[in-house]
Amino acid sequence: MKFGVVVFPGSNCDRDMQDALQNDLGHEVIMLWHKDRDLSMFSTEDCIILPGGFSYGDYLRCGAIARFSPMMQSVIEFANKGGKVLGVCNGFQILCEAHLLPGALLRNSNQQFICKNVYLKGEGSDKALKIPIAHGEGRYHADDATLDQLEANGQVIYRYCDENGNVNEASNHNGASRNIAGIRNAAGNVFGMMPHPERACTAALGNIDGRIVLETLLMKQLVSA
C-alpha cells in the first residue's frame, strides 16, 4: 500500500506522518504539494492523507481555503472514485469543508487550544488507546439526524473515553457531539479524526498506540471497505 501526504502552506504534521508511515510502519510515502494536481501514481488501493496543521493560516474557517486548492480537487475526484483518504486534525476539518465527510469542527467548548494525551476507543472495542490531541477547533458537531445516521451506519469510528474505556462527559475534552473523535463516510473509503496517531508510533516517544490506529484503519478497515 502506497501513501501520499499532501503538504499545504501551514501544514506542520506532514513530516510526522511521513516518518510514522515510512519508518515506523514501513510503507512507501510520496509527498504531494498543494499546487500540484497529479495523483496518477496512486491506485484506489492506495491512500491519500491530509495532515494536521494550520493550512493557509486557518483564515476564514479551518480548512475552508485548503478545500479549494488544486491538489484537493484531485483528492476529491480520487475519493469519489473509491480511493482511500484519511484526514487528521486539520485534515479532518478540510474533509468536512470539502463535504467528503458530514458535519463540522467547531471551536472547543472551553474556547481554548488543547494539547495533551487523551484516550479514545474504536466502536465495538473496549481497549482505550492513548493518542495526543492538539487543536483549538476540534469539537465535532452535526445535527441529531446526521448523528443518528452516522451511528446507525457504523460510521463513528472513535469516541473519546477515559483510560478504562468509559465514554463519559469528563473524557470529552473538546465538547464533541456524542464524544465523537473520528468518523468515516458511508462508502467506507474516507476517514477523519482529530487525535494524532502519527505522534504515537515510536517507542522513543513512550507510546505506540498510534500504530494500532493506523494499522487498523488503513491496513484493515479501509483496505477491505
Active-site residues, by number, are 89, 196, 198
Of 124, 13, 104, 29, nearest to 62 by C-alpha is: 104
Contact 195, 201 (CB under 8 A): no
Contact 32, 48 (CB under 8 A): yes
DSSP structure class, residue 100: S
Cell numbers representing residue 46 in the block: 492506495
Stretch (H or E) spanning 141? strand 139-141
Beta bridge partners of 156: 183
**How far is residue 110 from each of residues 113, 126, 137, 148, measured CA to CA in Å?**
8, 28, 10, 25
Of 34, 16, 33, nearest to 25 by C-alpha is: 16
The whole-angstrom separation of Cα 189 and Cα 64 is 22
Beta bridge partners of 117: 132
Contact 158, 193 (CB under 8 A): yes
Beta-carbon contacts of residue 103 (< 8 Å; ≥ 6 apart)? 96, 140, 141, 142, 146, 177, 183
Of 67, 70, 147, 58, nearest to 107 by C-alpha is: 58
